[in-house]
Structure 1
Amino acid sequence: MPTIDKPLAELQAYSGRNPRPADFDDYWDRALNEMRQTEPQIELVPSSFQTPAAECFDLYFTGVRGARIHVKYARPRQADTPRPAVLHFHGYSGNVGDWHERLGYVSLGFSVFAMDCRGQGGLSQDVGGVTGNTHHGHIIRGLDDQPDNLLFRHIFLDTAQLASIVMQMPYVDPEQVFATGWSQGGGLTIACASLEPRIRKLAPVYPFLSDYRRVWEMDLAKDAYAELRTYFRHFDPQHKREDEIFTKLGYIDIQYLAERIKGEVLMGTGLMDTICPPSTQFAAYNKITAPKRLEIYPDFGHEGLPGHHDKIFQYFLGNY
Structure 2
Amino acid sequence: MPRFDLPLPELRDYRPAVREPADFDDFWSATLAESRAAGGDVVVEPVATPLTLADAYDVTFPGFGGESVKAWLLVPAGADGPLPAVVEFNGYGGGRGLPFERLGWVASGYAHLFMDTRGQGSAWGSGGATADPHGTGPSFPGFMTRGIDAPEEYYYRRVYTDAVRAVDAVRSLPMVDADRVAVCGGSQGGGIAIAAAGLSTGLVAALPDVPFLCHFERAVGFTDSDPYQEVVRYLSVHRRAEDRVFETLSYFDGVNHAKRAQAPALFSAGLMDPVCPPSTVFAAFNHYAAADRSIEVYGHNEHEGGQAYQWAEQAAFLAARVG
TM-score where L is the length of structure 1: 0.91
Contact 1:88 1:114 in 2 (8 A): yes
Corresponding residue of 1:179: 183
Question: Which residue is equivalent to 2:148?
Answer: 143
Which residue of 2 is the match for residue 126 of structure 1? 132
Indicate how the Cα distance of structure 1 residues 36 and 221 shifts in structure 2: closer, same or farther if over 3 A, else same. Answer: farther
Q: Is the Cα–Cα contact under 8 Å of residues 17 and 211 in structure 1 kept in the other structure?
A: no
CA drift at 1:233: 2.4
Q: Which runs of 5 or more residues in structure 2 are unaligned?
A: 122-127
SS in 1 for 2:85: strand
* Residues 153-179 of structure 1: CA deviation (Å, up to 9, x unaligned): 110011110101111210211111111
Among 189, 206, 212, the alignment partner of 2:210 is 206
Is 1:226 aligned with 2:236? no
Matches within 5 A, 1:129-278: 129-130=135-136, 132-134=137-139, 136-144=141-149, 146-218=150-222, 220-236=223-239, 240-278=240-278
Larger mean CA deviation between 56-65 and 206-215 belongs to 56-65
Distance in 1 (CA, whole Å) between partners of 2:181 and 2:270 is: 26
- 1:314 corresponds to which of 313, 316, 322: 316
Paired residue secondary structure (2:30)? helix
Deviation per CA, 1:112-147: give whole Å up to 9, x if none. Answer: 1001100000111101133x1255122211112x32
Partner of 2:124: none
What is the number of residues matched between the two proteins?
313
Q: Deviations over 1:243-288 (max 9, x none)?
A: 2221221111111011111111111111111100111111111111
- Tell me which stretches of 4 or more aligned residues in structure 1 moved more than 6 Å: none
Q: Relative to structure 1, is the Cα distance of residues 53 and 102 closer, same or farther in structure 2, using a 3 angstrom cutoff? A: same
Give the aligned partner of residue 84 of structure 2: 84
TM-score (norm 2): 0.91
CA-based RMSD of the aligned residues comes to: 1.9
> Whole-Å Cα distance in 1 between the matches of residues 236 and 186 of structure 2?
29
Query: What's the secondary structure of 1:102's corresponding residue?
Result: coil
Q: Which moved more, 1:273-282 or 1:77-86?
A: 77-86
Distance apart, 1:315 and its partner CA: 2.0
Q: Deviations over 1:88-123 (max 9, x none)?
A: 111001123443343332233211100110000011
Paired with 1:64 and 1:6, the residues of 2 have a C-alpha distance of: 38
Task: Using the aligned pairs only, state the percent identity.
Answer: 35
What residue identity is the alignment partner of 2:320?
A: G
Checking the alignment, whether the CA contact within 8 Å between 1:65 and 1:127 is kept in structure 2 is no
Distance in 2, matches of 1:11 and 1:105, equals 31
State the match for 1:284 in structure 2. Answer: 284
SS in 1 for 2:102: helix
Q: Find the aligned partners of 1:135 and 1:123 in 2 and give their Cα distance.
A: 23
CA distance in 2, matches of 1:273, 1:286: 18
Q: How far did residue 299 of structure 1 move?
A: 1.3
Q: 1:206 to 1:67 in 2, by over 3 A?
A: same
**Correspondences of 1:51-62 after superposition (within 5 Å):** 51-62=51-62
Task: For 2:139 and 2:49, locate their aligned partners in 1 and report how far apart those are by CA, in whole Å.
Answer: 34
**Displacement after TM superposition at 1:66 (Å):** 4.5
Which has the larger displacement, 205-214 or 91-100? Answer: 91-100
- Find the aligned partners of 1:20 and 1:305 in 2 and give their Cα distance: 31
Partner of 2:109: 109
**Cα offset for 1:221?**
4.5
Letter in 2 for 1:141: R
Worse overlay, 275-284 or 20-29: 20-29
